[in-house]
Amino acid sequence: MAVNTTQIELLRKLLRHGAKERVVKTLSKFRAADLAEFFKHLSPVEQRAFIDILYSQRQAAYTLLELPDGILEEILDVLEIEKISVLIKRVAADDAVFFLSLLDTDRADQVMALLDEPTRQQIERIRMYPAESAGSLMTNEMMTLTDSMTVAQAIEEIRARAEEHEFIFYVYVVSDSGTFVGVVPIRRLITAPPDTRLQDVMAVNPVAVKATDDQERVANLTARYNLLAVPVVDDQFKLLGVITVDDVIDVLTEEATEDMYKMQLLSDEDRVYSPVGKSIQRRMPWMVLNLATAFLASTVVGAFEATISQVVILAAFMPIVAGMGGNGGTQTLTVITRGIALGELGYSDGIRTIGKQVLIGLVVGAGVGIIAGGIAWYWQGNPFLGLVLFLSMIVNMSIAGLAGAAVPILLKFLNQDPALGGGVIVTTFTDVFGFFAFLGLATVFLQYLV
Amino acid sequence: MAVNTTQIELLRKLLRHGAKERVVKTLSKFRAADLAEFFKHLSPVEQRAFIDILYSQRQAAYTLLELPDGILEEILDVLEIEKISVLIKRVAADDAVFFLSLLDTDRADQVMALLDEPTRQQIERIRMYPAESAGSLMTNEMMTLTDSMTVAQAIEEIRARAEEHEFIFYVYVVSDSGTFVGVVPIRRLITAPPDTRLQDVMAVNPVAVKATDDQERVANLTARYNLLAVPVVDDQFKLLGVITVDDVIDVLTEEATEDMYKMQLLSDEDRVYSPVGKSIQRRMPWMVLNLATAFLASTVVGAFEATISQVVILAAFMPIVAGMGGNGGTQTLTVITRGIALGELGYSDGIRTIGKQVLIGLVVGAGVGIIAGGIAWYWQGNPFLGLVLFLSMIVNMSIAGLAGAAVPILLKFLNQDPALGGGVIVTTFTDVFGFFAFLGLATVFLQYLV
């Protein structure tokens, strides 16, 4: 966005000529995310020269953090262990863990060996928590003060420690026993009388997540309560760290991608920039599974070979039944999956929701069925063909509503991801039942169709 | 989440008995989003009683803002004009505009007539901006100070005005001529020497959006630069307002829903909680369009009626060709659409991306084609049937990669929404070309198939 073609060409030229001073001067205008933008357009050799310059300017770590995971992984693969260890020392513990997660085990161990003991311990603490847990996202660089402190003392503390704390907007208050008891926005420290105790200005009953909670819960709480940072606690409500809203935004984006991907049985790592070989490797097994479900529909059609052999034109209408059912089912699936993700399903219970979607399918099916049936009648000059298409459209669109709603609700009820494979499951249902209804009805009315 | 069944039952009982005092006491423990949660489980009569109590506690406005749009619309429809005008006076101008947008024009005008002149003007200013623009999201309740002020003066100002400003984490700095020149985090006011001028502590070259920019740009900038609030300026870089991160989170969620919905030709307002009639009304026209595309595939099959009449079993394999192509195309479409939304496409240009997806489709098609062809050969005892299925699978999966990648990239290139209708367009392509390849090849090899 903020980077244009002229700037890219200039940077490439300066890098090729090794004009380090001028590169540094040019870069001072940009933020980390903009610097990351340049990477897309550089050759591997230029990328290396660019990293060395960023590195000398202490800008490498935060720039690299803005790259997509796949691209960052490739860069880290060829960077020296020593350089990676310096990068890691310059970032917060949660980002350090993220860097380490992109290295293979051997290299990660070598990097860890180069770190000082306190840094290593901090990293180990966060690494204990599973990926996508609140603990894996938190930073321990928050300002924690005790509730008996006065506002004046708090301000003194902030002055003394402000340099180490980049992202201070709240002060977190703990009791003498270390229990997390409240939050004070920095603003309130300015407006409150200096001799007030923190316990008298803090917001009590603070919202917090457990370190083992899923990141989706963190994102939902942030959105729900309009938070800027989510405190993370242990079972005894002791404060372990905070998750800042910028990390929550990344989680929200990631979770939305995950939902879309899971519906289509795509691997999270199958991205626009992924190498072709990796994408193929990731899609193949799922497509084989998909093939197995497609053969189910195929056997249904095969069972009606005799009917089709007598009324061959039936084959021409099969794509209409399958196509409309498939799209109708996917529509319902999208509405329900998204409704579950946004917590909207609670506004009406599962059974009622399924019923509603079946009813919608039935009415929409009748509507498009009349049109499709009419066209079939006019095209082939046979009212019974139109009737068969009309009726099977109603059946199939109702099945589409049923499967599209019931599959994610059932998955949710079984504590599975409601999006998982929904697209494939639902189209299998609509294919199988759609063909069964269409060809079955055609068999019933066979004498009027030949 | 934070509301359980026992609490709901208690609230309903208290509401039915008109025990207002006890309801108020019970509610004090909850935040606005939790109070909104209760609404889901109340009857219309109970909802009314509940609103009256929230209203008397000045909690109604922020609770109602946490409800899904559809539910809120129903509630506002039956609420008195006077009550709505009081709600509107209690919220920021952007939220006021949102409330008004859910009313029909007549009622909105009546509400506006009840407001005082300054409130009405503020609302009119925000209403000028189109829906989903930065201007429509901004609040003008930010703290703006001039760059020649000292830190001590700034703190004095904040003390004086803190009550009106709920969400202060930054001070926005303007020059004497009113141009927006910098940002100071509140924290820095605490740590900087009191006699420093703001121009010496502020971060210069602040990120800002224009009031007419799309909300998607606001969300992308926030994610990109890890902002807590995005300043909104006019063409002269005068500060008009700020958009806070909690609103940005809502935008991100909304945009993700929109992308998923557009791919399936769903209306934004077709939600889990929508009345059946409205959902039907919104889906019907698109399903008719969908029917038209399905008839395209149907005519392709119809053109090969003679071939099918000689080898009826071909009809049984049609769902495999269509199903695999449809799913493969939707997979590619999901990867590309999401890649565009996340700004990842820049890492490789359009033509190369399309080429990659065609190659992936070709290889995956060959892989599943061997299996499908093998099964067809074994099942029907005819190697040529297997060969036809194998070849058409390669063709169709390549088409799936081509259409899945080219449709969103082309839409983006034409400045259209890359997600718009992609699912339907892509499956139409895979159906038409898949059937053409499969039945065309079968016609070529016809003498070996009968």
A323, B364 contact by CB (below 8 A): no
- Return the pLDDT at A218: 92
B347 and A169 within 8 Å at the Cβ level: the answer is no
Q: Which residues of chain B have a CB within 8 Å of the CB of A223?
A: 246, 249-250, 253
Per-residue pLDDT tens digits for A103-131:
999 999 999 999 999 889 988 988 889 88
B117 and B165 housed in the same domain: no
- Residue B41 makes CB contacts below 8 A (sequence gap 6+) with B8, B12
Report the residue from A279, A308, A322 with minimal CB separation from B360.
A279
Longest CA–CA span in chain B (Å) reads 96
**Cα Rg for chain A, rounded, in angstroms?**
30
The shortest CB-CB distance from A280 to any of B245, B257, B363 is to B363
Tokens read off for B296: 């395209």
Q: Which two tokens stand for residue A395?
A: 């059946």
Establish, for the pair of chains A and B, how many residue pairs have beta carbons separated by less than 8 Å.
Answer: 339
| A239 and A280 housed in the same domain | no
Q: Tell me what pLDDT residue B6 has.
A: 85
pLDDT at B239: 94
Does the pLDDT at position A49 exceed 80? yes
Show which of B230, B245, B260 is a domain's final residue.
B245
Q: Are residues B25 and B62 part of one domain?
A: yes
Q: What percent of chain B has pLDDT over 90?
A: 48
What are the chain B neighbours of A245 within 8 Å (beta carbons)?
228, 245, 249
What is the structure's pLDDT at A106?
A: 93
Residue where a domain stops, chosen among A244, A268, A300? A244
Strand, helix or coil for residue B156: helix
Q: Is residue B118 part of a domain?
A: yes
Specify whether B104 is located in the same domain as B162. Answer: no
Element spanning A334, H or E: helix A314-341
Nearest-angstrom CA–CA distance, A444 and A94? 65
Q: Which residue of A has its CA nearest to B160?
A: A191
What tokens were used for A402? 């049923």
What does the alpha-carbon distance between residue A450 and residue A447 come to, in Å, rounded to a whole number? 6
Residue B211 sits at φ, ψ, to 5 deg, of: -60, -25
Maximal C-alpha separation, chain A: 96
8 Å CB contact between B385 and B313: yes
pLDDT in tens, A231-259: 999 999 999 999 989 889 989 888 888 88
**Facing B228 at nearest CB: one of A37, A224, A245:** A245
Contact A318 B334 (CB under 8 A): no
pLDDT band at B167 (very low <50, low <70, confident <90, very high): low
Report yes or no on A253 lying in a domain: no
Q: First CA to last CA across chain A, in angstroms?
A: 63
Q: Which residues of A touch B257 (CB under 8 A)?
A: 338, 342
pLDDT recorded at residue A181: 95
Q: What is the DSSP string of A51-119?
A: HHHHHHTT-HHHHHHTS-HHHHHHHHHHS-HHHHHHHHHHS-HHHHHHHHHTS-HHHHHHHHHTS-HHH
Average pLDDT in the B388-400 region? 96
Helix (H) or strand (E) holding B10: helix B5-16
Q: Which residue of A has its CA nearest to B372?
A: A291
Which structural domain range is residue A33 located in?
5-132
Coil vs helix vs strand at B130: coil
Q: Is B250 among the domain residues?
A: no
* Chain A residues touching residue B223 (CB < 8 angstroms): 246, 249-250, 253
Give the CATH number of the domain where residue A154 resides.
3.10.580.10
In chain A, which residues have their Cβ closer than 8 Å to the Cβ of B225?
A: 31, 33
B1 pLDDT band, cuts 50/70/90, is very low
- Between residues B141 and A53, which one has the greater pLDDT? A53
**Mean pLDDT score, A181-206:** 90
Is B368 in Cβ contact with A287 (below 8 Å)?
yes
The answer to whether A413 touches A431, Cβ cutoff 8 Å, is: no
User: With 0-12 CB in 10 A as exposed, 13-18 as middle and 19+ as buried, what is A390?
Assistant: buried
Asked if A276's CB is within 8 angstroms of B356's CB, the reply is yes
Q: pLDDT at residue B160 above 60?
A: yes
In a domain, residue A271? The reply is: no
| Residue B137 within any structural domain of the chain | no
Q: Is residue A251 in some structural domain? A: no
B340/B410 same-domain check: yes
pLDDT in tens, A369-413: 999 999 999 999 999 999 999 999 999 999 999 999 999 999 988
pLDDT the model gives residue B382: 95
Nearest to B190 among A158, A283, A348 (CB): A158
* pLDDT confidence bin for A172, thresholds 50/70/90: very high
Q: Establish if A261 belongs to a structural domain.
A: no
Mean pLDDT of A126-142: 87
Predicted pLDDT at B419: 85
Domain count, chain B: 3
Q: Is B106 exposed, middle or buried (0-12, 13-18, 19+ CB in 10 A)?
A: exposed
**Minimal Cβ distance to B308: which of A227, A266, A312:** A312
Minimal Cα distance from A373: which residue of B? Answer: B291
Give the pLDDT mean for A182-208: 90
Considering the domain architecture, whether residues A42 and A120 belong to the same structural domain is answered as: yes
B37 to A346: CB separation less than 8 angstroms, yes or no: yes
Same-domain status, A33 and A170: no
Min mean pLDDT across A361-365, B200-204, B300-304, B397-401 is at B200-204
> Which of A1, A39, A255, A287 should one mutate to test binding to chain B, selecting the residue with the greatest count of B CBs within 10 A?
A287
On whether both B316 and B428 belong to a single domain, the answer is yes
Per-residue pLDDT band at A163 (split at 50, 70, 90): low
User: Looking at residue B431, what is its pLDDT?
Assistant: 94
Q: What is the mean pLDDT of residues B330-344?
A: 89
**Ramachandran area for residue A221 (φ above 0: left; ψ -120 to 50: alpha; else beta):** alpha
User: Does the distance separating the beta carbons of A330 and B423 come in below 8 Å?
Assistant: yes
Is the per-residue pLDDT at B57 higher than 90? no
- As given in the structure block, the two tokens for residue B259 are 């992308």
Instruction: With respect to residue B252, please indicate whether it lies within any of the assigned structural domains.
Output: no
| pLDDT on residue A162 | 66
For residues A316 and A170, state if they share a domain.
Answer: no
Residue B53 contacts residue B23 (beta carbons within 8 Å): yes
Query: A404 or B32: which carries more pLDDT confidence?
Result: A404
Q: Which of A107, A132, A157 is the last residue of a domain?
A: A132
pLDDT band at B164 (very low <50, low <70, confident <90, very high): low
Mind listing the pLDDT tens digit for each residue in A1-21?
467 888 888 888 888 888 888
What's the pLDDT at A348? Answer: 62
What CATH code is carried by the domain that includes residue A55?
Answer: 1.25.60.10
A340: domain CATH number is: 1.10.357.20
Together in a domain, A293 and A425:
yes
Mean per-residue pLDDT for A133-141? 88
Q: Considering only CB atoms, which chain A residues are within 8 Å of B186?
A: 169, 186-187, 190
Chain B residues touching A331 at Cβ < 8 A: 264-266, 283
Contact between chains at A371 and B291 (C-beta distance less than 8 A): yes
Which residue is closest to A161 within chain B, CA to CA?
B191
- Report pLDDT for A347: 60
What is the chain B residue with the closest CA to A168?
B187
What DSSP letter does each residue of B90-124 carry, written as one string? TS-HHHHHHHHHTS-HHHHHHHHHTS-HHHHHHHH
Quote the percentage of chain B above a pLDDT of 70: 98
What pLDDT band is residue A223 in, cutting at 50, 70 and 90?
A: confident
The span from the CA of A180 to the CA of A348, in Å, is 36
CB contact at 8 A, B237 and B208 = yes
> What pLDDT digit, counting tens, does each position of B206-218 carry?
999 999 999 988 9
Q: What does the H/E/C string look like for A232-263? A: EECCCCEEEEEEEHHHHHHHHHHHHHHHHHHH
Interval B234-246 mean pLDDT: 92
How many CB atoms are closer than 10 A to CB A285? Answer: 12
Q: Which residues of A touch B375 (CB under 8 A)?
A: 295
CA distances from B161 to A93, B113, B154, B188 (A): 38, 29, 11, 18
Residues in A closer than 8 angstroms to B312, CB to CB, are 305, 308-309, 312
Contact between chains at B338 and A276 (C-beta distance less than 8 A): no
Q: Is it the case that residue A359 has pLDDT exceeding 90? A: yes
Query: Looking at the structure, do residues B128 and B159 belong to the same domain, yes or no?
Result: no
pLDDT of amino acid A396? 96
pLDDT at B397 over 90: yes
Q: What is the pLDDT of residue A1?
A: 45
A422 and A306 share a domain?
Answer: yes
Residue B107 has pLDDT above 70, yes or no: yes
Mean pLDDT of chain A: 89
pLDDT greater than 80 at residue A335:
yes
